[in-house]
Amino acid sequence: MNKTVVAMSLALIFSGQALAETEQEAENQSTLVRLENEASKAELLTATNAPAKEEGRLHGTLGTNIEVERVIRDDGVNEGKLKYTLAQGSFRHDDLPGWDFGFYSAREELFNGNLKHADYDRGVNSIQEIWANRSYGQAWGSVGWGVKLAGESIDKRTTPEVKVFGNYNITDRLDIHGYAMYHVEYNRGSSEFPYWEIEPGFGYKIADNMGAWLNFRYQEGTLKPKSGDNFVETETIIKPGIWYSWGDLSASLWGEFGKFEKENDQTGAHEWSEDYWKLGISANYALNSSWRVFGEVSYKDIKFEDNSNSEFDGYIPLFIAGINYSF
């Protein structure tokens, strides 16, 4: 996984929005936990505010969006990507309580230069994912597990993944939640990257239409090329946020404050580091009982240090807009 160009984190748990007072509410809270890394914050707002559908036995969400990301650095890097989510969905069936299934299909067009006059000479990447999760709702919260298989065309990458997750309601307003994940990125013919992460956190329900969260994430993996030295990559992130709902309109303000480091596994030599902060605003609006539009804007400020101890700055602006249909 190339962490030099840091993509937008898909991480958010809207803890406290559905604190479990019944087994069904516990399962709703579990849904938020297991969606970690599978949806943007704006889409999680959509998922948590989607009305329950009574008709039919199959329920879920289908959606599409567009994402624009730029990476600008003082060392001369000026690049970005246009990402089209062709289709994504998550589903559950009344005859399979506790189970949910999903898929994701996207296309990335990678470019150099400014967006208006970009050179699309960095290639095109196709992303495909499928997953399944099983949760067990309890009066005190929930636990569960999930599996995912992902692939990317640009580096012939195949990534199997396993995850466990859960939440525990300390009070009717305060909960603790989290997940642990392990996956291996197989870049065909070039490298493999075993990788794990954990993310515990707290959620607090300020009011029926307002809440806050504070999560902590630690990630570690070892990049193992077919030839040459191995490299250890670690990242530590603090993730605060707050959300508010006005009924049909919901929004959140959130941040990420972290450090990424890359070292030579054989010599211990420093290869690369990033110290960063990121702020974002996410929102979604209900057009009717089934359709919702959502958007997200974020800005990431980064300080880099390379293996010669040279320091330079950079930033990553990101924009997402999309629409979801729930049934």
Q: Is residue 115 part of a domain?
A: no
pLDDT in tens, 70-94: 999 999 999 999 999 999 999 999 9
- CA geometry: angle at 30 spanning 29 and 34, to 5°? 125
pLDDT at residue 53 in the model: 52
Cα separation, 222 vs 152, in Å, equals: 19
Report the amino acid identity of residue 204. Answer: Y
Report the amino acid identity of residue 277. Answer: W
Do residues 110 and 125 lie in contact, with contact meaning Cβ atoms separated by under 8 Å? yes
Q: Is residue 184 part of a domain?
A: yes
What's the average model confidence in pLDDT over 58-80? 96
Q: Is residue 153 part of a domain?
A: yes
In the chain, what percentage of residues exceed pLDDT 90?
A: 79
User: Is residue 260 over pLDDT 90?
Assistant: yes
In the chain, what percentage of residues exceed pLDDT 70?
A: 83
Which token pair is 246? 């006005």
User: Is residue 176 over pLDDT 80?
Assistant: yes
User: Is residue 192 over pLDDT 70?
Assistant: yes
pLDDT at residue 38 in the model: 54
User: Is residue 135 over pLDDT 90?
Assistant: yes
Q: By mean pLDDT, which of 21-30, 241-250, 260-269 is the weakest? A: 21-30
pLDDT at residue 41 in the model: 60
Considering its fold, how many domains does the chain have in total?
A: 1
pLDDT at residue 117 in the model: 86
Q: At what angle do helices 23-34 and 41-49 cross, to 10 degrees?
A: 160
The residue to which tokens 């196709």 are assigned: 126
Q: Is residue 12 part of a domain?
A: no
Cα separation, 133 vs 112, in Å, equals: 38
Mean pLDDT of the chain: 87
DSSP lists the bridge partners of residue 240 as 214
Segment (H or E) for 282 = strand 270-286
pLDDT at residue 309 in the model: 87
What's the average model confidence in pLDDT over 238-265? 97
pLDDT at residue 189 in the model: 83
Q: Is residue 277 part of a domain?
A: yes
Alpha-carbon 230 to chain mean position: 26
| Position with higher pLDDT, 39 vs 240 | 240
Residue 164 sits in a domain of what CATH number? 2.40.160.40
pLDDT band at 1 (very low <50, low <70, confident <90, very high): very low
What's the average model confidence in pLDDT over 154-168? 96
pLDDT at residue 55 in the model: 64
Alpha-carbon 94 to chain mean position: 27
Domain range holding 282? 23-79+87-106+129-326
Q: Is residue 1 part of a domain?
A: no
pLDDT in tens, 87-133: 999 999 999 999 999 999 999 999 999 888 899 989 999 999 999 99
Do residues 311 and 303 lie in contact, with contact meaning Cβ atoms separated by under 8 Å? yes
**C-alpha atoms less than 13 angstroms from C-alpha of 250 in its C-beta half-sphere:** 25
Q: Is residue 33 part of a domain?
A: yes
Q: Is residue 315 part of a domain?
A: yes
Cα separation, 307 vs 46, in Å, equals: 42
What's the average model confidence in pLDDT over 287-314? 96
Q: With CA atoms as reference, report the closest residue to 181 among 146, 211, 209, 152.
A: 146
pLDDT band at 49 (very low <50, low <70, confident <90, very high): low
User: Is residue 24 over pLDDT 80?
Assistant: no
